[in-house]
C-alpha cells in the first residue's frame, strides 16, 4: 500500500513519514511530514480523489499544480512534487514553520509600521512575480500568508488562482469573470461581477492586507452583506490616527474603487512609503499593543499552524459519534430558508472574517447533510467539553454560555435549505472575542469535521444547486 501504518505514523510512497495534522478543508488535509531519506520537514496536502471528482473540483486541483510549478519565488510556498495513488493525491510542499501571519496578529495587536512594511514588501515582491508569470492569486488575505522559521513571508493557497493563458477563464474582453475570494478583501469590480483585471484585483486585496497589518482590524466591515458591499464599492473606510501620511496616501491609491485609476504594482514599488528600508530580521518582531485585533478565522481552507507541541491526537479523541438524541431534540424542526436567504447566505463567498473594532458578533457558518438532531447533539457534546451550559430552543436554536475569560455567549441557529441539507450559523453574542476565536479553532472546527459538508466559502456547490440536482434525478 502507498500509505502504511507504522507505530502511529504513516509512510507515504515509502518516502515521507506523516506527522501531526496542520489543517483541513473540504477535500484535503495538510500534515507536517519528514523526508525519510533526508529528514527534511515538509508539508503534505492530501486530497481524496473521489471527493474531488464528485464535487467537480478536479480542474481547480490541476490549476493549483500548474500555478505552483510556475511560481518559484523565495516568498511563495514551493511545491516540491506531486504524487498520486488510486485514491489519494499528495502535494509535497515547503513547510512554513512560523505559522500564519494571521496568528501573529491574533496573538497581539497591530504591527509597528516598519514591521508591517517588511511583510508588505515581501508580499508585493511575491505578487509582482506571480503576475509576471501570468498568475493572479484572487484570494489574498492574512490567513493565506505564512511565515518560515526566520519570519519571512510565504504566499500560499493558490486554489482560487487564475492563469492568464487559460482561455476558458477569459472572455472576449480579456477580463476574468469568476467571482471568488473573501468579501472583506475582494475588489469592488469582483463583487459587481462585471469582469475584472486579475492584477488590479490583487492590488486591492494587498491594500486591505496592509490596512489590517497597520490597524489590527479590517477597513471594510459590516454585519449586513449589502452594507458591506456598499462600503467596499464606495471605498468607505477611515484610517486610524497612528497611520503615517505616506501610508494613508498609499492606501488611498490601492483602495481606489475604480480599477482603471487604481495604483499598479510598478507605481506601488516606487512609492516613498514602500521604498523605505525593510525592518531587520528578528526572531519575533516588536508588536504594538494599542488596538485589539478583531479578525475572523477562515475555516474552509488548509493552513499551517505554528510549529508548537500541541497534540492533534488529543483533539481527535474529543470527537465522538452522534448518539441517540433525546425526544425533545428529535422532534425539533429547524427554520427554513427561502430562495433569497440561500442566495444571500450561501453565495460561495466566505463571510466568516467580518470582524471589526466595534465588537460586532463574530460568526461562523457551515452546511451539513446531517439531521437537526445530530447537529444539536454534536453541539451539546462540544459545549459539555468546554464546560458551557446549553439551552436548546425552538426552530433549531441552540444557546451556549460560560467560558474561561468571562461569560462567553454563543448562539447557533440551524436552517433547512433543502431536504437533508442544513446551514448552521454560529455567532458570539457576548463575552471575549478572542475566546470565541479559540473556541472556534480549537473546539468547534476539529470536533465537527465529520458532519460538515462545507464551511462557508468552501468549494462545495451551494445547497440550492444540490436541491436542483436532486430534483432532476
The rounded distance, in Å, linking the Cα atoms of 374 and 380 is 10
Q: Dihedral angle at the C-alpha atoms of 230, 213, 44, 301, nearest 10 degrees?
A: -20
| Largest pairwise CA distance in the chain | 67
Q: Where are the beta strands (DSSP E) in 287-441?
A: 335-336, 363-368, 388-392, 397-402, 408-418, 421-430
> Any binding-site annotation on 249?
no
The rounded distance, in Å, linking the Cα atoms of 398 and 423 is 13
Q: Which of 139, 157, 438, 459 is catalytic?
A: 139
The rounded distance, in Å, linking the Cα atoms of 310 and 441 is 13
- Name the residue among 28, 36, 27 with its Cα closest to residue 9: 36
What are the φ and ψ backbone dihedral angles of 224, each rounded to 5 degrees?
A: -95, 125
The rounded distance, in Å, linking the Cα atoms of 281 and 330 is 57
Non-local (6+) Cβ contacts of 111 within 8 A are 105, 119, 213, 214, 285, 287, 288
> HSE of 421 in the Cβ direction (CA atoms, 13 Å)?
20
Residue 89 C-alpha from the chain's centroid: 21
What does each C-alpha distance from 50 to 55, 201, 457, 458, 470 come to in angstroms? Answer: 8, 33, 21, 17, 19
Sheet containing 28-35: order of strands: 3-6, 9-12, 16-24, 28-35, 41-48, 88-94, 79-84
**How is residue 309 written as a grid cell?**
507541541
**Quick check: is 246 catalytic?**
no
Helix (H, G, I), strand (E, B) or coil at 46: strand
What are the φ and ψ backbone dihedral angles of 180, each rounded to 5 degrees?
A: -155, 170
- Name the residue among 252, 224, 225, 212 with its Cα closest to residue 236: 252
What does each C-alpha distance from 196 to 205, 219, 344 come to in angstroms? Answer: 13, 21, 22
What does each C-alpha distance from 467 to 164, 207, 396, 407 come to in angstroms? Answer: 34, 38, 20, 39
Kindly state the helix (H) or strand (E) to which residue 66 belongs, with its residue range: helix 58-70
Residue 408 backbone zone (phi > 0: left; psi -120 to 50: alpha; other: beta): beta
Instruction: Show binding-site residues.
Output: 45
Binding residue ranges for ATP: 45
What residues are labeled active site? 139
Amino acid at each position: 500500500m502507498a500509505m502504511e501504518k507504522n507505530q502511529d505514523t504513516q509512510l507515504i510512497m515509502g518516502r515521507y513519514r506523516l506527522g501531526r495534522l496542520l489543517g483541513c478543508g473540504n477535500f484535503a488535509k495538510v500534515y507536517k511530514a519528514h523526508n525519510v531519506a533526508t529528514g527534511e520537514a515538509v508539508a503534505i496536502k492530501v486530497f481524496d480523489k473521489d471527493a474531488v471528482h464528485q464535487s467537480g473540483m478536479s480542474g481547480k486541483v490541476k490549476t493549483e499544480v500548474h500555478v505552483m510549478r510556475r511560481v518559484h519565488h523565495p516568498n511563495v510556498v514551493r511545491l516540491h512534487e506531486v504524487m498520486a495513488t488510486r485514491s489519494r493525491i499528495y502535494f509535497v510542499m515547503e513547510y512554513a514553520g512560523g505559522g500564519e501571519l494571521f496568528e501573529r496578529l491574533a496573538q497581539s495587536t497591530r504591527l509597528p509600521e516598519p514591521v508591517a512594511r517588511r511583510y508588505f514588501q515581501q508580499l508585493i515582491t511575491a505578487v509582482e512575480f506571480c503576475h509576471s508569470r501570468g498568475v493572479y492569486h484572487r484570494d489574498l488575505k492574512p490567513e493565506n500568508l505564512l511565515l518560515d522559521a526566520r519570519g519571512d513571508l510565504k504566499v500560499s493557497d493558490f486554489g482560487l488562482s487564475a492563469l492568464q493563458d487559460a482561455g476558458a477563464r477569459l472572455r472576449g474582453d480579456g477580463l476574468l469573470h469568476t467571482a471568488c475570494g473573501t468579501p472583506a478583501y475582494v475588489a469592488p469590480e469582483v463583487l459587481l461581477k462585471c469582469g475584472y483585471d486579475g492584477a488590479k484585483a490583487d492590488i486591492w486585496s494587498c491594500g486591505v492586507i496592509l490596512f489590517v497589518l497597520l490597524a489590527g482590524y479590517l477597513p471594510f466591515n459590516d454585519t449586513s452583506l449589502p452594507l458591506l458591499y456598499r462600503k467596499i464599492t464606495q471605498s468607505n473606510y477611515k484610517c486610524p490616527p497612528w497611520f503615517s501620511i505616506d501610508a494613508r496616501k498609499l492606501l488611498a491609491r490601492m483602495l481606489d474603487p475604480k480599477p482603471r485609476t487604481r495604483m499598479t504594482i510598478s507605481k506601488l514599488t516606487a512609492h516613498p512609503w514602500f521604498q523605505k528600508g525593510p525592518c531587520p530580521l528578528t526572531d519575533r518582531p516588536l508588536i504594538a499593543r494599542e488596538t485589539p485585533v478583531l479578525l475572523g478565522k477562515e475555516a474552509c481552507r488548509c493552513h499551517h499552524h505554528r510549529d508548537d507541541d500541541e497534540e492533534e491526537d488529543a483533539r481527535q479523541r474529543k470527537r465522538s459519534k452522534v448518539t441517540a438524541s433525546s425526544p425533545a431534540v428529535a422532534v425539533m424542526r429547524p427554520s427554513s430558508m427561502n430562495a433569497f436567504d440561500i442566495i444571500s447566505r450561501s453565495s460561495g463567498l466566505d463571510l466568516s472574517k467580518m470582524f471589526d473594532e466595534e465588537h460586532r458578533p463574530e460568526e461562523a457558518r457551515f452546511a451539513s447533510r446531517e439531521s437537526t438532531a445530530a447537529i444539536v447533539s454534536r453541539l451539546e457534546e462540544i459545549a459539555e467539553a468546554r464546560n458551557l451550559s446549553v439551552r436548546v430552543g425552538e426552530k433549531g436554536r441552540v444557546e451556549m454560555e460560560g467560558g474561561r475569560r468571562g461569560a462567553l455567549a454563543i448562539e447557533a441557529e440551524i436552517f433547512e435549505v433543502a431536504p437533508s441539507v442544513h446551514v448552521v450559523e454560529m455567532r458570539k453574542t457576548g463575552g471575549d472575542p478572542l475566546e470565541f476565536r479559540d473556541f472556534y479553532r480549537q473546539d468547534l472546527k476539529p470536533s465537527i469535521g465529520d458532519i460538515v459538508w462545507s464551511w462557508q466559502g468552501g468549494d462545495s456547490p451551494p445547497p440550492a444547486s444540490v436541491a436542483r440536482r436532486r430534483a432532476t434525478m
